[in-house]
Structure 1
């Protein structure tokens, strides 16, 4: 594997002694299901580094996402708040003029401003692609990644060895053309693009005919430097190598001050135009029994293993808390190209699509663990209820930073759960989940966890052709009630449209109804006002584009200096690489998107 070099990462002007505050690494997978990882029992997944960390720390079996789709989930993670408090949509389109409101404080801003942390991010952002909303303006010193999902535009794949090409040939030729149903069509049909805007603002009016939505960009940000589009279209084959190099360099350059490294990897979300709608580097193609999905997951595991080795080499392992989870459940309509929700089948639903986009357990209950050598007991587990919203208050508490007092935080400090203090109990009494199944025009309460119970006021299928706003909804009054500790598959409800008959269950239902009424009465929704247009922006020009006069292509001679940061990903590099190895030329494109790329 080639070594990648970045420009020197400058230290922040404010520093703190490394022994005073812990480092934080947060690994956030994309669309990874509870059943996808080895430490949760998948029989053929290759995740040795993740498994070693999970068993060396604490496996968290009841970690819930802040939303069943990506933007809402990431909003809740970054802010520690239920995402409807911000007005953000469940899924943010790639060419709109708004993003996470600037009056929302991110965990990166909290750590950087209040405690002098160095902050870096590598991977998927999906909280606004305009420069004013990108990570470099939201508390992160350094950023490398795709500003949104890797199916919101096309990328390219370089050829690998002739042998690897032949291994992948059968899968490519036999793959059904599922991209007939585009992700955009499904997001729109389900209402996931809809946001709460200030009066008179249409959140989608600027979304059409923007060239910036055609090709995926790879964006790089650093202090006192202009935002750079390093590749467009993005090169999938070498993406993980670049992510890996960025993460290792960030840790190396900031070993002497507390740092926060946020790793929302683009893997294993499906793409729009690659074989099996997945991707990985040449060293991982054809290496697992799970096809391209398994290869992509194995490559993610490799990145994590390298970061952990870097911590060990720098003697930082005992100073660093590592958290791992996923943003939401698997996108089940994508079949074997997506993941597995394991035993969280939502069996009572009567349909199979109970993953991403639904508030059945498979859509919101995530694989997770916490690792901190010397602080968290190895080979430990906890079924206590925790949430992605808890990350903001937890890291704040561990860094000895008070929470801002000018807003409501729905997340709670989970330090006791992680460190086993005070009985290791969660402070969540009621953890509400917001959904799109109530018949109302925006996200409202659909479900809640209360101790061993879970209640649904409404349910509907996950993201797909059956998830159409206002259709295929089932509502319950009183809510559908499960004992989720006994019945994690949600197969056998305690009660259905009636009060439970057992006294303990009936008392729990009364508490749930009371908490629901309080949440409904006191919850405050946010509204979004887009920031004013910056130079070069305007209707049809909000998407990320390196050169609109060149169809948003920047892998050319004018970009050599920028692409030289990586020494990988350019056509010149790959042509030379394969010529030296005596390998075959790339196979002709097979999908419509690949043909369009070749002819462009």
Structure 2
């Protein structure tokens, strides 16, 4: 495999140095798990993954100290299916939620029969908390966080609600958390996470911290430290949002070191899909300006690598050695990984595989995937159609199809990471195999019928 060039950011204003203090370690040997999810952060938006303009010293240091996965995939190219995959261990073909709701609430809630990683951990004695953007069920439904294994919830229940960074209130358990006038919701999430980590824990815990940064709108409280940059104002705001999130992740890691929790806590950081489109700026100028998808082609909504391959860092200095892994992994692997760490038997019908062998350097014990699958469906508006993507993991061959009747595009990622050279005609046998897989992998869905016609819009016009 061609090696992806990763560069180190030399700027660092936070140091995660363990200090003596009152330890609040758990009474169990089961590790604590913190999963930090950003929203629409591109593969190239972090310094360690090649970013040159946006400062991310905390994440760069986390990457330098932890295990970096250079070929990790989101559950889908947009929010809902990606997060559903993360929670249930089922990829888009088998999962119930296959796309964003599009104004239909029934598309945005997990069912009673959809078992989440939080339910499994909670049943095994974990204290569980969801802070941030949920988007998989509203109050009174089977998909609300309190009904899906979380003891505590503060945040947005829906994706649309999360588009407002300055709400009057947020959901808190079965009630409301009133915010101060002009209070930035991201700051509330960080404060809630810090409060959760500061409390005494008699059980191991799972904290799902689902930040909304850097999803639009771009309106942070300030544009520190980019005030003097000769950039468009919107670009400065985008960069400031990411650096603000990076700063707060640094605070969390420092707190873990201070209170002694870091010795028994796995922290994972990633994004829910590829970088967003320019939201009306034309030709993805912001994505291009920051090189947000790095060496990859495609953005959010694409099943090309740029829409689904995401930065992924696993940090646990006491247990995980620093390094990189180019073994293909994906969101569906989190559930069995958490179960493995917690001594839990995962459900038998999931698509994920435990990443624990990879985390601890036992690559030969990692079973590995054979195939992966993604899709995007545009159900309404002026544009209707579908995109499907599949990866032959053993050979690192990617297939893309626009519409169920569309021709297969084929890319050999080892030699063509940017997916510029379609070799489908040269390899008709492989194309036929990938087509057969796409035709068979998807569980039928009345809520998510896949259109026959394709939707071909290049990343330059998205």
Both proteins in one fold, TM over 0.5: yes
For residue 176 of structure 2, what is the aligned residue in structure 1? 228
Indicate the SS of the match to 2:208. Answer: strand
Indicate the SS of the match to 1:50. Answer: helix
Q: Distance in 1 between matches of 2:26 and 2:446?
A: 40
Note if contact 1:270-1:337 (Cα within 8 Å) is conserved in structure 2: no
Note if contact 1:432-1:449 (Cα within 8 Å) is conserved in structure 2: no
CA deviation after TM superposition for structure 1 residue 140, in Å: 1.0
Q: Distance in 2 between matches of 1:261 and 1:486?
A: 39
For residue 111 of structure 2, what is the aligned residue in structure 1? 101
Note if contact 1:142-1:220 (Cα within 8 Å) is conserved in structure 2: no
Q: Distance in 1 between matches of 2:267 and 2:112?
A: 28
Q: Distance in 1 between matches of 2:228 and 2:392?
A: 36
Note if contact 1:121-1:261 (Cα within 8 Å) is conserved in structure 2: yes
Indicate the SS of the match to 1:83. Answer: coil
When Rg is computed on C-alpha atoms for both structures, the one with the higher figure is: 1
For residue 205 of structure 1, what is the aligned residue in structure 2? none
User: Which residue among 48, 55, 64 is the counterpart of 2:57?
Assistant: 48
Indicate the SS of the match to 1:412. Answer: coil
Q: Distance in 1 between matches of 2:93 and 2:446?
A: 9
Note if contact 1:150-1:266 (Cα within 8 Å) is conserved in structure 2: no
User: Which residue among 218, 230, 249 is the counterpart of 1:304?
Assistant: 249
Quote the RMSD (CA, aligned, Å): 3.1
Deviations 1:381-426 (CA, angstroms, capped at 9, x unpaired)? 1111000110001111111100124xx2111111122211143756
CA deviation after TM superposition for structure 1 residue 150, in Å: 5.8
Note if contact 1:150-1:270 (Cα within 8 Å) is conserved in structure 2: no
Q: Distance in 2 between matches of 1:92 and 1:235?
A: 30
Moved over 6 A (4+): 441-444
Q: Distance in 2 between matches of 1:219 and 1:131?
A: 16
Q: Distance in 1 between matches of 2:363 and 2:296?
A: 33
For residue 575 of structure 1, what is the aligned residue in structure 2? none
In proportion to residue count, which structure has more strand? 2
For residue 262 of structure 2, what is the aligned residue in structure 1? 317
User: Which residue among 387, 406, 420 is the counterpart of 1:475?
Assistant: 406
Structure 2, unaligned stretches of length 5 or more?
1-24, 230-234, 449-462
Note if contact 1:414-1:426 (Cα within 8 Å) is conserved in structure 2: no
Indicate the SS of the match to 2:190. Answer: helix
Deviations 1:126-166 (CA, angstroms, capped at 9, x unpaired)? 1123432321221111111122336766554xxxxxxxxxx
For residue 364 of structure 1, what is the aligned residue in structure 2? 308
CA deviation after TM superposition for structure 1 residue 356, in Å: 0.5
Note if contact 1:87-1:525 (Cα within 8 Å) is conserved in structure 2: no
User: Which residue among 63, 70, 77 is the counterpart of 1:68?
Assistant: 77
For residue 219 of structure 2, what is the aligned residue in structure 1? 279
1:419 to 2:360 alignment: yes
Indicate the SS of the match to 2:58. Answer: helix
Q: Distance in 1 between matches of 2:251 and 2:240?
A: 17
Number of equivalenced pairs:
407
Note if contact 1:386-1:426 (Cα within 8 Å) is conserved in structure 2: no
1:63-142 residue pairs with structure 2 within 5 A? Answer: 63-93=72-102, 96-97=105-106, 99-113=109-123, 115-132=124-141, 133-142=143-152
CA deviation after TM superposition for structure 1 residue 64, in Å: 0.4
Indicate the SS of the match to 2:278. Answer: helix
Q: 1:374 to 1:517 in 2, by over 3 A?
A: same
1:28 to 2:37 alignment: yes
For residue 499 of structure 1, what is the aligned residue in structure 2? 427
Note if contact 1:67-1:433 (Cα within 8 Å) is conserved in structure 2: yes
User: Which residue among 325, 342, 348 is the counterpart of 2:293?
Assistant: 342
CA deviation after TM superposition for structure 1 residue 269, in Å: 0.3
CA deviation after TM superposition for structure 1 residue 253, in Å: 1.7
Q: 1:83 to 1:456 in 2, by over 3 A?
A: closer
Note if contact 1:30-1:267 (Cα within 8 Å) is conserved in structure 2: yes
TM, length-normalised to structure 1: 0.62
Deviations 1:281-319 (CA, angstroms, capped at 9, x unpaired)? 348474585500110001111221111111111111121
CA deviation after TM superposition for structure 1 residue 497, in Å: 3.1
User: Which residue among 290, 299, 305 is the counterpart of 1:355?
Assistant: 299
